[in-house]
Structure 1
Amino acid sequence: MTITRMIAALAVAALLPGAAAQSIDWKKVDAALGKSASVSGEVHRYGLPRSDLHVTLDGVEIKPALALGGWVAFAPMHGEAMVMGDVVLLDTEITPVMTKLLNSGLEITAIHNHLLRSSPATFYMHVAGRGDPEKMAAAIREALSTGSKTPFEPPATTASAAPALDLDTAKLDETMHAKGKAVGGVYQFGIPRRQAATEGGMTVSAAMGGANGINFQPTGNGKAAITGDFLVTGDEVNPLIRSLREGDIEVTAIHSHMLDEQPRMFFIHFWANDDAQKLARAVRAALDKTAVAQN
């Protein structure tokens, strides 16, 4: 099934959420994947962070919430489900995981990098499919368990509260004209476009990856490592990357995620490690080159 057909089917499913949702035993899906879902409406999303990896870039150890956060999400559809996701892999894990997923009937829709010079190098593989959610969850877990070292056991918990971020988050919010949130030692922003893209008649919402994702990981003394992706139209690509370079932010990848969206969209990844407020101003200036939603 193509991405267009899957998204169109998801749009139909959204009109009939009750019957589809009632026919799926989500506890069995949880058990098959070995994870608990974060539920948003009818969508069940499972985090697959590569907390097993120790990735460094320019002397910074990358936290999973900064650039190693894989996930898969299921949406009910006429007693079945659609799954889409993005899993993080080492280069040696790509082929075995891909082979397992393809053999199970799932589809691979993209493979790309986010960072440059990281050690070890990491890649993102996009996954899609339609069918029995329990079987698809089991197939994804088997592929990742046998073809990679993606952890499925919950992380060890401690009684102590999460440490406060070493960043002036209120000032970051002010500069970014948005409200961020702290996740796993990283301050994250999700900033939608003024008008979302559509594919197969369905709006590509922020929850489906239709937003600019900007992540700040504190690196001490008011500095932060930043990465994420901008979502832009073709005519916005060069104004955006020129603005990023003027702000001394490295552009690390330009690629697409979707096949038939309107308008055509591109994802631009980036990296820098500098004064957090300086970077926030540069990121905001780049965002202002695009049709980003204004608060």
Structure 2
Amino acid sequence: MQCRFSLVSLICVAAAAHAQPARDWAAVDSALGRKGAAQAAGVMRYGFPRSDLQVTVNGVRLAPALALGSWLAFRDVGGGSVMAMGDLVMLEAEVGPVMRALQAGGVEQTALHNHVLGESPHVMYMHVSAHGDPVKIARTVHDALARTGTPAASPAPATPPALDLDTAAVARTLGVAGKANGGVYQVSVPRRETIREDGHEVPPSMGVATAINFQPTGSGRAAITGDFVLRAAEVNPVIRALHGAGIEVTALHSHMLDEEPRLFFMHFWANDDAAALARGLRNALDHMAVRTAGR
């Protein structure tokens, strides 16, 4: 009995010696000029809403939380290094200066494209990736965003506005509960399999979960957008499911370069009865290997 106890003790001591201490993100907060939000799996995520932009699609003014939110996420990968990924929202005239600033600081681009169609003014989305010192990465991104109209961080309102949307019904239909953020109901649906890049796990909060956003537009209607994260065999069944519900596909492309398994990102748009749209979205999710209630 004493031997077993001693062996367990030695194992515990060895494990403690190899355990990674929790990273202090204060220096990254300082470099980015805002606080991050801790996510599952050790991810720290920072938001940069483009509240300076007044973008409309088919008469709907987009809330920043619907489709105009830049973000950057970090995950510790050991040895003092992090893996960083993000998506930066910008006007066409901002693309060149931002890309040059990122390249100068060692932050790479993995995609540049649209997410919606017919918006005014036209908006581009630049996906970024980096590995290394988190403070250096943060300073580079901060310097790049300084070349855009991205506002400085501002405190969240003490009492968020109530959503004109039956969020409980939407959650029941989708099989996943979401959260209210900036006048938008945001739902994140993770895939079942583990996604990896460069040998490291990429958690859902680093951009590999399906994102579905509802912005109420009155009388039970909502504008919806986001992106489905798909394997190749899922792409066309999901397109057909969305079209069957009156939901338009606005983009289909990659966001990453070396992920395993290979993923495709499908963006969508509709402005219609929220309950009907939720049913259509759930039908699309049922063609995918995702984690929803009842599956």
Range into which the TM-score falls when normalised by the shorter chain: 0.7 to 0.9
For residues 15-30 of structure 1, the aligned pairs below 5 Å read 18-19=20-21, 21=22, 25-30=24-29
The residue number in structure 2 matching 1:133 is 134
Which one-letter code corresponds to 1:57 in the other structure?
V
Please name the residue that 2:3 is paired with: none
For the Cα contact (< 8 Å) 2:173–2:282, is it kept in 1? yes
The reply to whether residue 115 of structure 1 matches residue 113 of structure 2 is: no
Shift of 1:162: 1.5
| Corresponding position: 1:47 with 2:47 | yes
CA contact (8 A) 1:196 1:210 kept: no
* 2:84 partner letter: V
**Within the alignment, does 1:37 sit opposite 2:36 as a pair?**
yes
Aligned to 1:260: 258
Structure 1 residues 80-89 or 217-226, which shifts more? 80-89
Give the match for residue 245 of structure 1: 243
Q: Using a 3 Å threshold, how does the CA distance of structure 1 residues 107 and 58 change in structure 2: closer, same or farther?
A: same
* Aligned residue in 2 for 1:74: 74
CA separation in 1, counterparts of 2:134 and 2:212? Answer: 31
Shift of the alpha carbon at 1:34? 0.6
Q: Distance in 2 between matches of 1:231 and 1:250?
A: 16
Cα distance in 2 for residues equivalent to 1:204 and 1:81? 12
The residue aligned with 2:87 is 86
Counterpart residue number, 2:168: 170
- Which runs of no fewer than 5 residues in structure 1 stay unpaired? 1-15
Match of 1:210 among 208, 211, 229: 208
Code of the residue aligned with 1:102 in structure 2: it is Q
CA deviation profile, 1:245-268 (whole Å, cap 9, x unmatched): 111111000011222333321110
Partner AA of 2:153 in structure 1: E
Partner of residue 7, structure 1: none
Structure 2 distance, partners of 1:243, 1:51, is: 33
Matched residues in 2 for 1:63 and 1:91: separation? 19
Aligned mates of 2:266, 2:107 — CA distance in 1: 26
Residue of structure 1 in register with 2:218 after alignment? 220
After superposition, the CA RMSD in angstroms is: 1.8
Aligned-partner SS, 1:73: strand
Task: Tell me the residue number matched to 2:180.
Answer: 182
The residue aligned with 1:13 is none
Q: Which moved more, 1:118-127 or 1:89-98?
A: 118-127
Deviates more, 1:213-222 or 1:36-45: 36-45
Q: What is the identity percentage for the equivalent residue pairs of Structure 1 and Structure 2?
A: 54
Instruction: Tell me which amino acid in the other structure corresponds to 1:260.
Output: D
Instruction: Count matched residues.
Output: 274
User: 1:265–1:153: structure 2 CA closer, same or farther, 3 Å change rule?
Assistant: closer
**Which amino acid is the alignment partner of residue 20 of structure 2?**
G
TM-score, scaled to structure 2:
0.87
- Counterparts of 1:90 and 1:220 in 2: how far apart (Å)? 28
- How many angstroms apart in 1 are the aligned matches of 2:19 and 2:162? 39
Contact persistence 2:65–2:182 (CA under 8 A): yes
Question: Helix, strand or coil: the match of 2:120?
Answer: coil
Deviation at 1:158, TM superposition (A): 4.9
Q: Which runs of 4+ in 1 moved over 6 A?
A: none
1:63 has 2:63 as partner:
yes
Deviation of 1:293 (Å):
2.2
Matched, 1:103 2:104: yes
Unmatched 5+ residue regions in structure 2?
A: 1-17
Q: Distance in 2 between matches of 1:70 and 1:53?
A: 12
Using a 3 Å threshold, how does the CA distance of structure 1 residues 291 and 83 change in structure 2: closer, same or farther? closer
Contact 1:113 1:122 in 2 (8 A): yes
Q: Which has the larger radius of gyration?
A: 2
Counterpart AA for 2:37:
S
Distance 1:255 1:133 in 2: 28
> TM-score normalized by structure 1?
0.87
Structure-2 residue corresponding to 1:4: none
Paired residue secondary structure (1:149): coil
Instruction: Give the Cα separation in 2 of the matches to 1:263 and 1:83.
Output: 19
Instruction: Indicate if the aligned counterparts of 1:49 and 1:68 stay in contact, CA closer than 8 A.
Output: yes
Match of 1:271 among 269, 272, 280: 269
Counterpart CA distance in 1 for 2:193 and 2:285 is 14
